[in-house]
Amino acid sequence: MVLVIMDGVGYGAYKDGDAVQAARMDNFALIAGTSACTRLKAHGTAVGLPSDDDMGNSEVGHNAIGSGRVFAQGAKLVSGSIASGALFQGSTWKKLVQNTKATGGALHFIGLFSDGNVHSHIDHLKAMITRAVDEGVPRVRVHILLDGRDVGETSALDYVIPFEDFLAEQNKRGGDCRIASGGGRMWITMDRYNADWSMVDRGWQTHVRGEGRCFKSAREAIETYRAEIPGVIDQDLKAFVIAGSDGKPLGPINDGDSVVYFNFRGDRALEITSAFETPSGAEFHFDRKRVPKVEYAGMMEYDGDLHIPRQYLVEPPAIDRTLAEYLCASVVRQLAISETQKYGHVTYFFNGNKLGKFNEALEDYEEIKSDIVPFEQRPWMKCAEITDRVIQAIGSGDFAFIRLNFPNGDMVGHTGVFNAVVCAMEALDLQLGRLKKAVDAAGGVMILTADHGNADDMYEHDKKTGEVLRKKDGSPRAKTSHSLNPVPAVIYDPEYKGEYARTLKEGLGISSLAATCVDLLGLIPPADYDRSLLNFR
């Protein structure tokens, strides 16, 4: 059986801006037209997020698919911990605050600066700054990673300007709170899966050393870069350092300071965390020149097996008995494969935030190295290479269960370049045709699904009228964030003999896929897994 996760591919609500619908996807149409199909929820409460206004994302999506159940996820856990006061009563927060008061140092916050609620939320940052001022922290410095990906592509000032007003209010209350540095999330700091450590290097020099192009304010930096690079979107803005009236950086990170990385999602937190926590030495990925002696904490524990970071503010969800673990216990040989950009999703996140295998003898993990180029320049990414290996694996007969992720719809979707996303979808569709032939030859079963939508909603629309919102030049306003749209569940079973009804259950979420996979493998799903999609006769 082959589980194909078409990352970021949903059913769009609008024809205009739906790159999935605009693409010629003949193979997908052929497979869906001869298969049992339904639509699954992949956002909000269906994947453990606080409300149905919250977009799904790849982390929680793969958690839900892989665990077969819905767990309260990062945003919900952090919001609850702040509301109850538990975060501020915890030993880590107290240690961070006490350290700054004892040394006279600063409390630094680094993280994604938006309300996208995928990696972070600006309300969490504000709550911690307010509390820090209440508790007499000498200085607060904020290092902002501009989004333009989970929110509007050029929305940075919509966050910066009100935030500066918020900081001014805190300073009236006796605080010393300033933005110290920043840059686009895809230019500095937020690399993942060791794809491009130069991003982390640039972030380190900017946040920690306070080295880089200086501006009087974050607003000035953003407006300057936009004027210098027409068409640049927030996620790609270059790094900047904020200097005081004396021309010196406002917030380099020094010995005796405390640092909070306030993203709750782990994949783009691990590398910058290791930069703070790994001792000096040639084994590291770039020359940090110095590692300040600080109290460092993450918002959550980003890796529960390796216990990274060593200190964190909120306990992550405890996800146990995942699909992969269950199949290992049932002696089912498995292959998990993707390219670098989503390799951790079909392994770490799919396995309930567990790094490593459940059974070395029964599991193979394979990573196809991603190109380090802007995704709109290579929209086909590595989908052909992934398919090459999966076809080989199917033909070998070595694996009973294969799971793979095609990143195209999500990674290219985040660029906002519509034609590139159409190209990405058509490249993916070619590989679906190849997989179909391999599954046919093996007498197997294939499920086509997704972890959330993205490529299906590439333009901003008026929420009331549904009309495309446009720029001053008349072109559509690109949408670079995930969608709230349902995703496919297509069960391609070429040797179907009526074992189950062709009509699948309706109204379920992507967490139902685990039990469905177990059913199709001829096993009995765990009793507490969410319902299978199959109606047995």
Tens-digit pLDDT profile for residues 366-388? 999 999 999 999 999 999 999 99
> Would 429 be classed as within a structural domain?
yes
**What mean pLDDT value characterizes the chain?**
95
Shared domain for 178 and 327, answered yes or no, is no
Residue 342, domain extent: 2-72+318-520
Shared domain for 208 and 354, answered yes or no, is no
> How high is the pLDDT of residue 76?
87
Shared domain for 102 and 26, answered yes or no, is no
Shared domain for 154 and 60, answered yes or no, is no
Asked if residue 34 has pLDDT above 90, the reply is yes
Q: So which residues are the catalytic ones?
A: 58
334 and 355 Cβ atoms separated by less than 8 Å? no
For residues 515 and 462, the model is more confident at: 515
Which residue, of 314, 345, 374, is where some domain finishes? 314
How many domains does the chain fold into?
2
| CATH code where residue 187 lies | 3.40.1450.10
Shared domain for 186 and 121, answered yes or no, is yes
Which residue, of 260, 286, 314, is where some domain finishes? 314
Confidence of residue 481 (pLDDT cuts 50, 70, 90): confident
Each residue of 413-463: pLDDT tens digit?
A: 999 999 999 999 999 999 999 999 999 999 999 999 999 999 999 998 988
Eight-state DSSP code of residue 465: T
Q: Which residues contact 446 (CB under 8 A, 6 or more apart)?
A: 1, 2, 3, 4, 31, 435, 436, 439, 491, 492
266 and 303 Cβ atoms separated by less than 8 Å? yes
SS3 state of residue 275: helix
> How high is the pLDDT of residue 18?
97
| CATH code where residue 378 lies | 3.40.720.10
Shared domain for 58 and 113, answered yes or no, is no
Shared domain for 254 and 378, answered yes or no, is no
> How high is the pLDDT of residue 305?
55
| Token duo for residue 19 | 């790159």
Confidence of residue 304 (pLDDT cuts 50, 70, 90): low
SS3 state of residue 307: coil
Average pLDDT, stretch 53-82? 91
Task: Report the amino acid identity of residue 311.
Answer: Q
Shared domain for 310 and 363, answered yes or no, is no
Which residues are 213's β-sheet partners?
Answer: none
